[in-house]
Amino acid sequence: MEPRKRLLNGRQLTTVFVVGCLTLVLLPWGAWAAKKQFVTITGKGGQQAAVSKGGGLKVTDGKGPMTVDGSVGVTGNVGVTGNVGVSGRIGVDGTVTTQAAGTPFQVADTLNGTTSRRYVLGHGRVAVTDAVLSQDNTGSTRLNLSLRIQAGNSDCSTVSGPYLGRIVEYSYLPAQEVVPVSFTTPVVATADTVCLVPSVGSNAGLFFSFVVNGVQL
C-alpha cells in the first residue's frame, strides 16, 4: 500500500508565502545596511577619530605638529599659515618664491641726482623684496645709482648711522632700459623709522625712476 502524500494546509501555505515575501523585501535592506555600516576608529587610550562636516578625517597625534615618514606627493598649491619646520632635505620641481608676512608697501619716484630726497619705508622692522630701476634719458650715457637704507627721523628728512641695508650699490643703468632687481632673501632692516636713501655718482643731472616693494613686518 503506497503512503499517502502529505499536503500543506491553508495556514502553512500562508506562512510560506509571507516568509518568502519578507525575504524578498528585507534582502536588499540587509545588503544596504552591510554596505552603509558605521565604523568607529578608536585609539589605545580610548580616543575616537573625528570627521569634519565636509567628510574629511581629522588627524592628529595629540602631541603638536604631525610627523610624516616617507614621501608626500602634492598636486596644486599648498597654503600654510604659520611657520613650517623641516628636518632633512626637500626636493622641489619648479620655482619657489618667498614672501615675508606683513603689510605690503611700495615707494616710487622720478628725480635726478642733484635732488637730495629720502623716503620712509616703514617703522620698526621692514623687508625690501624687490625693486625696478630705469632711466629714460636719450643717448648712451650711463647713470651710476645707489639705493641704500638708513635710520632717520619720523619723515626721513634727516638720516644717520651706518647703512642698514643696500638694495643697489653703484649700479650703472643703461639709457632707456628698465632693470628689475630681485633678492633670494629680502633685505631686512630695523629702526624706529627706516629710510630709503637714493644717491647718484656720475652724471648726476640725469633723471631716473625707481620702484621699491617691500613688507612692513
When divided into structural domains, the chain yields a total of 1
Per the structure block, which three cell numbers stand in for 105? 608697501
Please indicate, yes or no, if residue 86 is contained in any of the structural domains: no
Which CATH number covers residue 212?
A: 2.60.120
Higher pLDDT, 5 or 196: 196
Please indicate, yes or no, if residue 35 is contained in any of the structural domains: no
Across residues 155-171, what is the average pLDDT? Answer: 92
Q: Provide the mean pLDDT of the chain.
A: 76
Q: Is the pLDDT of residue 179 over 80?
A: yes
Please indicate, yes or no, if residue 84 is contained in any of the structural domains: no
Q: What is the pLDDT of residue 22?
A: 58
Q: Is the pLDDT of residue 157 over 80?
A: yes
Of residues 175, 121, 114, the one with CA closest to residue 148 = 121
Percent of the chain with pLDDT over 90: 30
Please indicate, yes or no, if residue 23 is contained in any of the structural domains: no
Q: Which domain holds residue 154?
A: 103-216
Please indicate, yes or no, if residue 36 is contained in any of the structural domains: no
* Residue where the block lists cell 647718484: 200
Of residues 73, 36, 43, 76, the one with CA closest to residue 58 = 43
Please indicate, yes or no, if residue 19 is contained in any of the structural domains: no
Across residues 185-194, what is the average pLDDT? Answer: 95
Please indicate, yes or no, if residue 97 is contained in any of the structural domains: no
CA–CA distance, 124 with 137 (Å, rounded to integer):
36
| DSSP one-letter code for 145 | E
Please indicate, yes or no, if residue 47 is contained in any of the structural domains: no
Q: Is the pLDDT of residue 5 over 60?
A: no
CA–CA distance, 113 with 169 (Å, rounded to integer):
15
Residue 73 contacts residue 93 (beta carbons within 8 Å): no
